[in-house]
Amino acid sequence: MTRKLTTMRSRFFLKIFSFLFLVTGSNLLFAQDSIGRKLPFYSTFCKIDTLNATSRKLTVTYTLSRTMVSIGVIQNMGDLIFDNNANTVSRLFMTDNKLININLATIPIDNIVIDDVRELILVLSRAMESPYNIVLYNFKGELLFKKKILPFELVMDSADYVEFSESFSIFFNDAISKEQILKEGNRYYIDLGYWRFLSEAEKEKITAKNWFKPSHFFPDLFRESFGTHLLSFNKYVNFYSNTDPFYEYEISNFGKPIGIILNDEFGGKVKIPLTGYVKVAR
């Protein structure tokens, strides 16, 4: 009888352990929040994450209301991530020295860089689920630039580009409308923001064309770990440097930023162009 009871208890605790391991991954009883801190498992079901940055001219605060619902909502929002009515869980607050307050819906943020001279705010996200990973605002809160970073992209010459536009018109039009096609010389680099909406047959047709390539910005990008908690975002590694992400802006002859230069995790520099993206014909 005692032996049977011991066996039952062992099975019970094994089930508890298995459940905890399932929901917490390798960090048993701990979860990682959007900013990289480890939090007790029980505190993650309703948690406000906060990130602050200050300069001589501006104070910027980011908050994320992280719940099971909000994490799922953010990864499916697309451009609605910037809609103040649609996105109430991921917010950016800006206050200048004249006490003018701006409250914006935004992406999940890991880093905030304020440039007082050019009056720019660069926000960076390592979250794989984020609709965009690099976003640029001015001090008025206007969205100047947004880019999704993925491990792969489509790379084409001019002839391939024409074929792509004719054979995959919905994908092409979506990429055009969201300014996800970058032209550099005679090469076109197309973000894969629409990739998940393609059928398996369409994906096979594209990969058969040899258009599918590793990202020329971050070719070694991959998922940080496979033990992430349900209420945390999956994070990229081999993206920008975690300790010093921003290097400088590339400036045109007219004094306008035309590129964002980031420090990568290997000590190199990566320029993300702000110009050269194919736009919808007006």
pLDDT at 229: 61
Element housing 121 (H / E): strand 120-124
Long-range contacts of 202-209 (CB under 8 A, 24+ apart): 202/168, 202/171, 205/167, 206/154, 206/168, 209/160, 209/163
pLDDT of 18 reads: 37
Backbone angles phi, psi at 139, to 5 degrees: -70, -10
Mean pLDDT on 184-194: 93
Q: What is the mean pLDDT of residues 161-186?
A: 94
**Whole-number Cα distances in Å, 257 to 68, 120, 246, 253:** 38, 10, 14, 10
* b/e code 72-95 from CB counts within 10 Å (16+ = b): ebbbebeeebbeeeebebbbbbbe
Quick check: 93 and 103 in contact, CB under 8 A?
A: yes
Kind of pairing between the strands at 222-223 and 236-237: antiparallel
Q: What is the pLDDT of residue 29?
A: 35
For the residues 261-268, what does the mean pLDDT come to? 93
Q: Which two tokens stand for residue 242?
A: 């975690």
- Nearest Cα to 82, choosing from 21, 146, 138? 146
Confidence of residue 255 (pLDDT cuts 50, 70, 90): confident
- Show me where the domains of the chain are located: 43-149+221-273, 152-214
Q: Write down the pLDDT at residue 135.
A: 97
The arithmetic mean of pLDDT across residues 182-193, rounded, is 94
Check if the beta carbon of residue 88 is closer than 8 Å to that of residue 79: no
Minimal CA–CA distance to 147: which of 232, 54, 10, 240? 240
At 30 the pLDDT is 40
Q: Using one digit for the tens of pLDDT, what is the confidence trace for 14-64?
A: 433 333 333 333 333 344 444 444 444 333 445 778 999 999 999 999 999
pLDDT at 4 over 70: no
Q: How many CB atoms lie within 10 A of CB 55?
A: 18
Mean of all residue pLDDT scores within the chain: 83
Q: How many CA atoms, within 13 angstroms, populate the side-chain half-sphere of residue 63?
A: 12
Q: Looking up tokens 């943020």, which residue turns up?
A: 109
Pairwise CA distance, residues 111 & 145, whole Å: 16
**Given this model, what pLDDT does residue 74 score?**
86
Q: What's the token pair of residue 246? A: 């921003």
Which of residues 37 and 72 earns the better pLDDT score?
Answer: 72
pLDDT tens figures, 86-107: 999 999 999 988 778 999 999 9
